[in-house]
């Protein structure tokens, strides 16, 4: 089984500051990793995903994440945040298969509320 | 990109009635559908996994007779909350998955039982 720990439940930052949202995972098998963003009363939007290959993954809206197998981490970063980045962010993990899509369930972290203040 | 349509976005029903939520993959065939429940300010809790043409697999603690899941085609899955009670009020989200597509989420349904 896999598990995900998001170390910060809330992260307040000022506009144009850099931000890092931390995610650690646990698994006995190879995994795929994902970051999703959720705005109030909406579903989840994929920011980025790591399936294989380069450990630095770039996503939408200027976000990037780095897969660190030795530290079992997949931290999300953005060099300069905007007010519109205020949302809930979820890290998720699933066991890997060959294709990038899976019948295996995603396991989510508890989420990190990013609040960007003017 | 992959699009999943979930309806209705909001529903209010009376206690004791049933509510059906639809989840459609619009531009791909979803071999697997996942249904989640989300309480305020909390993470997503997986309720069940369904593969097209098969019975859904429910997570521990989820009442399968209360939360009926149908996945009759590769583009449509439904969740029916039967005999709804106020404690069933929640945000329900579906997710469709297919090989090479990853996971695509619907926009969610806010259920309020009064």
Contacts of A94 (CB under 8 A, 6+ apart): A2, A31, A32, A34, A102, A104, A105, A106, A107
pLDDT surpasses 70 at A54 = yes
pLDDT surpasses 90 at A15 = yes
The single residue listed with the structure tokens 């999703």 is A36
pLDDT at B2: 80
| Interchain CB distance below 8 Å, B43 and A44 | no
Query: Kind and range of the H or E element at B20?
Result: strand B19-25
CA atoms of A48 and A25, how far apart (whole Å): 16
Going from the C-alpha of B113 to that of each of A111, B18, B93, the distances in angstroms are 26, 10, 17
CB B48 within 8 A of CB B24: no
Chain A residues within 8 A (CB-CB) of chain B? Answer: 34, 36, 41-46, 49, 90, 99-103, 105-106, 108-111, 113
Distance separating the N- and C-terminal Cα atoms of chain A: 41
pLDDT at A104: 83
User: What's the mean pLDDT when you consider all of chain A?
Assistant: 92
CA atoms of A31 and A42, how far apart (whole Å): 27
Q: Determine what percent of chain A is predicted with pLDDT higher than 90.
A: 79
Buried b (16+ CB within 10 A) or exposed e, B4-25: bebeeeebebeeeeebebbbbb
| Interchain CB distance below 8 Å, B99 and A100 | yes
CA atoms of A104 and A93, how far apart (whole Å): 10
- pLDDT band, very low/low/confident/very high, at B54 (cuts 50, 70, 90): confident
Give DSSP secondary structure letters for A37-65: EE-TT--EEEEEEE-SS-SEEE-GGG-EE
| Interchain CB distance below 8 Å, A103 and B106 | no
CB B49 within 8 A of CB A105: yes
CA atoms of A52 and A31, how far apart (whole Å): 9
| Interchain CB distance below 8 Å, A43 and B105 | yes
Question: Average of pLDDT values for B91-108?
Answer: 89
Going from the C-alpha of B82 to that of each of A104, B21, B22, B39, B46, the distances in angstroms are 27, 11, 14, 19, 18
Q: How many CB pairs under 8 A join A and B?
A: 62
Question: Average of pLDDT values for A26-36?
Answer: 92
User: What's the mean pLDDT when you consider all of chain B?
Assistant: 92
pLDDT surpasses 70 at A26 = yes
Min Cα distance B43 → chain A (Å) is 5
| Interchain CB distance below 8 Å, A108 and B108 | no
Closest CA to A116 of A88, A68, A81: A81
- pLDDT band, very low/low/confident/very high, at A13 (cuts 50, 70, 90): very high
pLDDT digits (tens, 9 = 90+) for B11-48: 999 999 999 999 999 988 888 999 999 988 889 999 99
């Amino acid at each position: 089984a896999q598990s995900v720990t998001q170390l910060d439940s809330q992260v307040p930052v000022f506009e144009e500051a850099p931000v890092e949202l931390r995610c650690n995972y646990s698994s006995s098998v190879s995994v795929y990793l994902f970051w999703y963003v959720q705005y109030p009363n909406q579903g989840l939007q994929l920011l980025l995903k790591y399936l294989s290959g380069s450990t630095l993954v770039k996503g939408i809206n200027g976000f990037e994440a780095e897969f660190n197998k030795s530290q079992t981490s997949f931290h999300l970063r953005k060099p300069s945040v905007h007010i519109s980045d205020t949302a809930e962010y979820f890290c998720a993990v699933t066991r890997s298969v060959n294709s990038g899509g899976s019948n295996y369930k995603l396991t989510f972290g508890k989420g990190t509320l990013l609040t960007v203040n003017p | 990109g992959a699009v999943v349509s979930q309806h209705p976005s909001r529903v209010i029903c009376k206690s004791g009635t049933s509510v059906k939520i639809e989840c459609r993959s619009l531009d791909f065939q979803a071999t697997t559908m996942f249904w989640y429940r989300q309480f305020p300010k909390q993470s997503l809790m997986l309720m069940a996994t369904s593969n097209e043409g098969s019975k859904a697999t429910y997570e521990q603690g989820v009442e399968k007779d209360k939360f009926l899941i149908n996945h009759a085609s590769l583009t449509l899955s439904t969740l029916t909350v039967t005999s709804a009670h106020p404690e069933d009020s929640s945000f329900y989200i579906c997710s469709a998955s297919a090989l090479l597509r990853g996971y695509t989420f619907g926009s969610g349904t806010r259920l309020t039982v009064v």
